[in-house]
Amino acid sequence: MKRFLMVLGIAAGLGALAQNPGTAKAPAGPAKKATNAPPLIPAEIDAKFKSVAERNGYTLGAMIADDMVTRVKKLGYEAPDDAIARGFAEWVTGKAIITKDEARKVFGVMQAEVSRKNDEKKQAEIAKNQKEGAEFLAANAKKEGVVALASGLQYKVLKAGTGTAKPKADDTVTCHYRGTLLDGKEFDSSYTRGEPAKFALNRVIKGWTEGVQLMTVGSKWQFFIPAGLAYGDAGSPPRIPPFATLMFEIELIGIQAAGDDKSAAGATAQPVTSDIIKVPSKAELDKGAKIEVIKAADLEKLQKQQPAKPAAGK
């Protein structure tokens, strides 16, 4: 039994290594009504075994093996299936040719080897993406209508805006956008979600902060953002690989000046369709202010209650 429990422990360890941190679990569904009737096993399954104990034991072994082999392959361990099956069977039956300490030593070496190979794979991917990105940006800068800035950011005006206001780095902007990799694969889009996004311009990637400040309300630009102004060598797994050059189409819809609850002059007012996160300034945070989440309906009521600002000279 101790050997069997160790196998289960190894399976659990592999499972922990395979987990993706930050992945949220799906919410539990509605509770099912309890029933006293045991589930029935088809006769054709029972016919394969001599007893219930044999059936249950075999099924447990099959399920553990399926889970372990799947995780082993996913993690990149190189081991033939027949060797895994032999090690499992001999360990459970007390005939293993290595001890627990020896197994742990081998497994530690395996982990180090997989880690090394993963690092090599990542470095190769970074080098590939760096080369492709540099070649793309060099060729793209020569295309008609493309403007290359000193920072490495490039843009092309797709539609000129009718407004005159431009956002500052600490303003909040409302935008529609679509982001793609160089191969055209879309990794994010407010158009797909069906509503524009609203966020502080100083809390996004550097390419956005620099580029959107050049836009006027109502304009739509295409940006070509080198990795250094995007997500760098870390990328943003699983959608954005390390050192990826990104392309964005951005449509500037509205501007909200820092500390102001109304759109800046020249901005196009938009109906509020989602909750707003109100982030206090550093000075306010130092005084004990808290981050607030304001519901769309409540925000509209507050806006209607605000008195109109007097015209200039009055």
Question: What is the set of active-site residues?
Answer: 177, 187-188, 205, 231, 248
Q: Verify cis geometry, omega within 30 degrees of 0, for the bond prior to 238.
A: yes
Alpha-helix runs per DSSP H in the chain = 2-18, 43-46, 52-75, 81-92, 100-140, 190-193, 206-212, 282-286, 296-305
Task: Enumerate the β-bridge partners of residue 249.
Answer: 178, 222
How many angstroms separate the CA atoms of 222 and 7, rounded? 54
Residue appearing with tokens 């196998």: 7
249 neighbors 222 (Cβ within 8 angstroms): yes
Helix (H, G, I), strand (E, B) or coil at 132: helix
Element (H, E) at 187: strand 186-189
How many angstroms from the chain centroid is the CA of residue 143?
32
